[in-house]
Amino acid sequence: MRDPILLTPGPLTTSLATKVAMLNDWGSWDAEFNALTAAVCRRLVAIVDGGEAFVCVPMQGSGTYAVEAAVGTLVPRDGKLLVLVNGAYGARMAKLTGTMGRELAVLDFGETRPVDPARVAAALALDPAITHVGIIHCETSTGMLNPLEEVARVVQGAGRRLIVDAMSSFAVLPLSARSIAFDAVIASSNKALEGVPGMGFVLARKEALLAAKGRSHSLSLDLHDQFAYLQSTGRWRYTPPTHVVAALAAALDQYDAEGGREGRLARYQDNCERLLAGLAELGLEPFLPRELQAPIIVTVRAPGHPNYAFQELYDRAKASGFILYPGKLTELETFRVGCIGAIGRAEIDAALAAIGQALRAMAIETTHA
């Protein structure tokens, strides 16, 4: 049986070549695996034009592990992080910052608006204790794209440091160290790079990372220690996700073959445009206006019909070979459909047909018969 198509923000559908890369076993201290890790790290730094000023620190675990490692290592224990929140992942960054005991300020923009750089500037002017600012580039709970470049200029102008959660946007949306000032960009293997889950990574400004020795609240999440050990031995400190690293190396080969960021973005944009058009044909409305929608994941307003239940829609779509994602908004019932992964227009069209078929089976009228 064919695996279902994952219309989610990650894990997501991977190619056969990426799956095949996981068929070999690797020794975690073996020189060949060390060389593989080093090559993957160099390629990840190159995606943000990091040059010699940035280093890649791979971390075992999901993207959230890497976010916590970055905040806990780069923000001093007597520092203060301003987190810009307009969705669940900004809220998660704020929660993990408070949990580890760092001083925290939150600027909340609600779920329907992007981050406002003017409000960020005002908050920084009012609170000189803030040392760092955390932003979600693409807020995956809605699919909203935040104005990263404008916020980065505000943060740099105020003499503060920027930490970017680019989990969903990395390697697809513009993000270059040549034009955006940041101390760290955080992402993971299982998003737009189209690898598999199990590895987060932090692309950190080397100067900032080297100054962070001894800051971390955690042994396993100490970004500085992870980097120092990797540099001195070529090895991960603790058992690495060997198969995940091998899959990511294969995924990066396919990324390059597709034309890098521009090629992948073109496919995702086409997926998103077709998805939005098809949803409209079914009488379904996206949550975000077009100008705020990133080509990563589309949040869809649930049908206002008494027969609607997401679990039934999910089960019927799954029976047709597609996995949808539940909504993550607090005040509105929605569901989400991803545009990313090893999928194209054919899969999007088939998914739209499955959604339409499921709604009609639930006796919910669609515009497109």
Closest by CA to 143, choosing from 287, 326, 350, is 287
How distant, in Å, are the alpha carbons of 83, 120, 181, 252 from that of 123?
11, 5, 19, 39
Strand partners, 134: 83, 163
* DSSP one-letter code for 89: H
Quickly tell me which residue has 């006796």 as its tokens: 363
Given 3.40.50.720, 3.40.640.10, 3.30.360.10, 2.60.40.350, which CATH number is that of 16-256? 3.40.640.10
Find tokens 């008494």 and name the residue.
306
Question: 135 forms bridges with which residues in the sheet?
Answer: 164
pLDDT at residue 368, rounded to an integer: 57
Domain ranges of the chain: 5-9+260-361, 16-256
In CATH terms, 5-9+260-361 corresponds, of 2.40.110.10, 3.90.1150.10, 2.40.40.20, 3.40.50.300, to 3.90.1150.10
CA distance 116 to 147: 8
pLDDT in tens, the chain (369 residues): 579 999 998 899 999 999 999 999 999 999 999 999 999 999 999 999 999 999 999 999 999 999 999 999 999 999 999 999 999 999 999 999 999 999 999 999 999 999 999 999 999 999 999 999 999 999 999 999 999 999 999 999 999 999 999 999 999 999 999 999 999 999 999 999 999 999 999 999 999 999 999 999 999 999 999 999 999 999 999 999 999 999 999 999 999 999 999 999 999 999 999 999 999 999 999 999 999 999 999 999 999 999 999 999 999 999 999 999 998 887 789 999 999 999 999 999 999 999 999 999 999 988 754
